Amino acid sequence: MDDLYRDYILEHYKRPRNFGELEPHDLEAQEHNPLCGDELGVHIRVADDRIEDLRFHGHGCAISQAAASIASEELKGMSLQEVGELDADWMIELLGIPVSATRRKCALLNLKVVRGAVTGDHAWPT
Amino acid sequence: MRSDFPIFSPRSSARPSRPLVYLDSAATSQKPAVVIEALSEHLRSHNANVHRGVYALAQEADAAYDGARSRVARFVGADARTTIFTKNATEAINLVAYSWGRANVRPGDAVLITQMEHHANIVPWQVLCRERGASLRYLEVDEYGELSLEQLDAELERGDVRLVAFAHVSNVLGTINPVAEMATRARAAGAVSLIDGAQAVPHMPVDVARIGADFYAWTGHKALGPTGIGVLHGRRELLEQMEPFLTGGDMISSVDFQQATWNELPYKFEAGTPPIAEAVGLGAAVEYLDGLGMERVRAHERSLTAYMLERLAQVPGLRVVGPPAADARGGLASFTLEGIHPHDIAELVDRAGVCIRAGHHCAQPLMRCLGVGATARASVGVYNDATDVDALIDALLAGREVFGL
């Protein structure tokens, strides 16, 4: 068993959940990882100050795609305030694999996009 | 030859447990012991600032620094007086964009570059063109990763091109461009030419005088030398007309309270204390390469690249970009692998100690032309052999298995 590329990571990479477009949507953002040129965008539909539904789109490595897929399932139903308070540790823990310093941005790209769409803060999560 | 490079020694503290398979020389080269020792010996025994001291030690430093310049210039068939040390190739190109470009590129003029340039040979021209109201145009890369001389002629015929800048060897495609021919055509059309030779000088015989470009830039750390030193060779008449890039100490002839006059070439373009030890290290590096013989270096890397292309073609789902023939390319291969992102490829092969690069290789516009977000890139140096390529292929096949392919 591979430490990083665990079965569930590869499963999410090959069959990502909540990927595609979402029309109509209330919020959206698009980010890229300057290191590798990967791009990830998100469409979010909001109801009662909560994420009612969302879709990611773009391309990236197994870590960034799996992270987006795994996070998407947690983000659905979360209040916008909660989303604004999510930090890097939340994502890394959720991913459940040892992420090296060089791959950290791959894992955090989806959270950067979602927080950007929800709060307008486009900084890398810390 | 590999034994000349301490990093590959089994006892190297950097890699205690597994052999190092280094296939990232296009990013930076490893250093032979003679370079490490030359740097260390200079700092240990000959260290003083240059061009100021009258004492014997300072004269030793002067001799070491200017001696290195002569050696570096001779290595590529250039004149030492028109060989300027910079921080890197990027600074060398910026020097030209700033000093030559700002004085000679006017509104309505054009700068012509190519789609295969490294960001270092794109962004300085973007900034220059924006500042001067000039346009930036690109020569296209065809499906074989090559440029068209016909398109170059057509662009030059428009009559507005003041400068043509292009890579000698592409850091992504590996393409070896017909640089002498391109420089000749640029000159005939009244345009100045600049060549980014960062991927060429370390890997093949380069004769700057024979190529005949107005400016030729390269960097030390890809050529077995230390980081922190680059080289710009320029045509004397142009360098003499140009204003300095950076100003300060050492580049002046005299300074009064309101103005200064410039030192002679090449010092006019070397403000402040230069990279003295780095120059000495680079001098040792080119001496080492001279000892190997650049014809032999090229032959070795050409045959290794041919072998690498042959072996890569055996990996299912793998696609190499750039010229199909090893003769037409430098010692590198960029590729994609179906079902595995380049970042994951680099991570997977690292488990077998194989170092390759993944990403856009500082060439985002080219990546867009190729229709890929990123590629993986394996590049060779004098110290690589067929076992390194075999290790890469084995690691790629093992990586496919991890991904269930």
- Cβ-based contacts of B370 with chain A (< 8 Å): none
User: Is residue B1 a contact partner of residue B335, using CB atoms and an 8 Å limit?
Assistant: no
Q: Do B373 and A38 touch (CB under 8 A)?
A: yes
Closest-CA residue of chain B to A9: B403
- Retrieve residue B399's tokens: 């990586």
**CA atoms within a 13 Å half-sphere pointing along the CA-CB vector of A67:** 32
> pLDDT digit string (tens) for B286-338?
999 999 999 999 999 999 999 999 999 999 999 999 999 999 999 999 999 99
Percent of chain B with pLDDT over 90: 89
DSSP annotation of B53? -
The closest CB to that of A37, out of B347, B364, B403, belongs to: B364
Domain for residue A125, yes or no? no
- Whether chain A has a CB inside 8 Å of the CB on B367: the answer is yes
**Rounded distance, CA A84 to CA A102, Å?**
25
Closest-CA residue of chain B to A12: B403
Q: Specify the number of domains making up chain A.
A: 1
Tell me chain A's radius of gyration from C-alpha atoms.
13
- Whether chain B has a CB inside 8 Å of the CB on A57: the answer is no
Q: What is the pLDDT of residue B246?
A: 94
Q: Do B367 and A2 touch (CB under 8 A)?
A: no
Give the gap in angstroms from C-alpha A90 to the nearest C-alpha of chain B. 23
Bridge partners (DSSP) of residue B355 are: B22
Give the gap in angstroms from C-alpha B381 to the nearest C-alpha of chain A. 24
**Rounded distance, CA B32 to CA B14, Å?**
15
The closest CB to that of B373, out of A37, A62, A103, belongs to: A37
User: Is residue B323 a contact partner of residue B329, using CB atoms and an 8 Å limit?
Assistant: yes
- Retrieve residue B350's tokens: 């690292």
Domain of A96 in residue numbering reads as 7-118
- Whether chain B has a CB inside 8 Å of the CB on A4: the answer is yes
- Whether chain B has a CB inside 8 Å of the CB on A98: the answer is no
- Whether chain A has a CB inside 8 Å of the CB on B402: the answer is yes
How many Å separate Cα A121 from the centre of its chain? 15
- Retrieve residue B212's tokens: 């005949």
- Whether chain B has a CB inside 8 Å of the CB on A99: the answer is no
- Retrieve residue B326's tokens: 């090893």
The closest CB to that of B341, out of A2, A35, A62, belongs to: A62
Domain for residue A25, yes or no? yes
**Rounded distance, CA B150 to CA B162, Å?**
18
Known catalytic membership, residue B355:
no
Q: What is the pLDDT of residue B18?
A: 78
Confidence of residue B362 (pLDDT cuts 50, 70, 90): confident
User: Is residue B291 a contact partner of residue B268, using CB atoms and an 8 Å limit?
Assistant: no
Domain for residue A124, yes or no? no
In chain B, CATH 3.90.1150.10 sits at: 2-30+293-402
Tell me, what's the ipTM? Answer: 0.91
> pLDDT digit string (tens) for B182-229?
999 999 999 999 999 999 999 999 999 999 999 999 999 999 999 999
**Rounded distance, CA B72 to CA B284, Å?**
9
Give the SS3 label for residue B83.
Answer: strand
The closest CB to that of B359, out of A2, A4, A37, belongs to: A37
Domain for residue A36, yes or no? yes
Residue B41 identity (one-letter amino acid): E
Confidence of residue B15 (pLDDT cuts 50, 70, 90): low
- Whether chain B has a CB inside 8 Å of the CB on A61: the answer is yes
Give the Å distances, CA to CA, from B16 to A46, B20, B390: 54, 10, 21
Bridge partners (DSSP) of residue A30 are: A41
CATH fold of B37-290 reads Aspartate Aminotransferase; domain 2 (3.40.640)
- Cβ-based contacts of A5 with chain B (< 8 Å): 344, 348, 402-403
CATH number, domain of A70, equals 3.90.1010.10
Closest CA to B78 of B181, B201, B169, B240: B201
- Whether chain B has a CB inside 8 Å of the CB on A106: the answer is yes
The closest CB to that of A61, out of B343, B367, B404, belongs to: B343
> pLDDT digit string (tens) for A80-117?
999 999 999 999 999 999 999 988 999 999 999 999 99
Confidence of residue B10 (pLDDT cuts 50, 70, 90): confident
Q: Do A37 and B343 touch (CB under 8 A)?
A: no
> pLDDT digit string (tens) for A43-66?
999 999 999 999 999 989 999 999
In chain B, CATH 3.40.640.10 sits at: 37-290
Instruction: State the pTM of this model.
Output: 0.94
Q: Under 8 Å CB-to-CB from A79, ≥6 apart: which residues?
A: A49, A50
**Rounded distance, CA B100 to CA B87, Å?**
18
Q: Under 8 Å CB-to-CB from B190, ≥6 apart: which residues?
A: none
C-alpha angle B282-B287-B291 in degrees, rounded to nearest 5? 145
Give the SS3 label for residue B166.
Answer: strand
- Whether chain A has a CB inside 8 Å of the CB on B139: the answer is no
**Rounded distance, CA B289 to CA B280, Å?**
14
Q: Do B359 and A35 touch (CB under 8 A)?
A: yes
Closest CA to B217 of B72, B38, B67: B72
Confidence of residue B363 (pLDDT cuts 50, 70, 90): confident
**Rounded distance, CA B279 to CA B203, Å?**
19
User: Is residue B95 a contact partner of residue B118, using CB atoms and an 8 Å limit?
Assistant: no
User: Is residue A61 a contact partner of residue B344, using CB atoms and an 8 Å limit?
Assistant: yes
Percent of chain A with pLDDT over 90: 85
Give the SS3 label for residue A42.
Answer: strand
Q: Under 8 Å CB-to-CB from B398, ≥6 apart: which residues?
A: B348, B351, B352
Residue B17 has pLDDT above 80, yes or no: no
- Cβ-based contacts of A2 with chain B (< 8 Å): 402
Give the gap in angstroms from C-alpha A62 to the nearest C-alpha of chain B. 7
- Cβ-based contacts of B402 with chain A (< 8 Å): 2, 5
Q: Which of B129, B355, B362, B369 is catalytic?
A: B362
**Rounded distance, CA A33 to CA B60, Å?**
48
Q: Do B373 and A36 touch (CB under 8 A)?
A: yes
- Retrieve residue A14's tokens: 């090959």
Neighbours of B403 (CB within 10 A): 19
User: Is residue B355 a contact partner of residue B379, using CB atoms and an 8 Å limit?
Assistant: no
CATH code, residues B2-30+293-402? 3.90.1150.10
Closest-CA residue of chain A to B360: A36
> To 10 degrees, what angle do helices B276-292 and B294-312 make?
80
DSSP secondary structure letters along B8-35: GSTT-TTSSSS--EE-BTTT-----HHH
User: Is residue B381 a contact partner of residue B202, using CB atoms and an 8 Å limit?
Assistant: yes
- Whether chain B has a CB inside 8 Å of the CB on A80: the answer is no
